[in-house]
């Protein structure tokens, strides 16, 4: 059998995360906060409702469930959120601990959102940094 017929071995999740993250620069909580405050970034919270209700919300963050993310942020999509203004939008994806958000960023970048990134450590790192969080009661958006 020639090398051309050689099968690639499956990639584990840790290796996949490493490969994905090598393609862009992630952002830390304080940087994300300052970028959002300056109108330079859109924070997008993809945590599911139970986590938002338990832990609270980041004021000003757009809440989009992970399974709707691509449809809501595609600037060309018919189901896009009003905030999805163009492919140059700097989106900071936030999950609970900063893992699922990395995979979401890869998907957004494939849609042409070339400035998409995610929050190192996710919501938990944001909260640990002492950045603003509001009550999650009734926060199912």
pLDDT tens readout for residues 45-68: 999 999 999 999 999 999 999 999
Q: What is d(CA 55, CA 80) in angstroms, rounded to the nearest whole number?
A: 27
Beta strands in the chain (DSSP E): 42-45, 62-63, 91-94, 117-118
Question: What's the mean pLDDT in 79-89?
Answer: 96
pLDDT tens digits for 128-137?
Answer: 999 999 987 6
User: For position 139, what pLDDT does the model report?
Assistant: 43
């Amino acid at each position: 059998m020639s090398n051309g017929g050689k099968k690639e071995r499956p990639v584990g999740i840790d290796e996949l995360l490493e490969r994905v993250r090598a393609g862009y620069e992630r952002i830390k909580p304080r940087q994300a906060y300052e970028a959002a405050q300056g109108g330079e970034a859109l924070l997008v919270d993809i945590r599911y409702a139970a986590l938002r209700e338990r832990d609270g919300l980041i004021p000003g963050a757009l809440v989009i469930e992970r399974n709707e993310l691509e449809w809501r942020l595609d600037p060309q999509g018919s189901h896009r959120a009003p905030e999805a203004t163009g492919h140059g939008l700097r989106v900071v994806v936030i999950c609970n601990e900063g893992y699922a958000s990395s995979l979401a960023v890869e998907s957004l970048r494939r849609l042409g959102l070339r400035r998409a990134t995610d929050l190192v450590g996710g919501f938990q790192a944001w909260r640990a940094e002492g950045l603003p969080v509001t009550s999650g009661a009734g926060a199912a958006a």
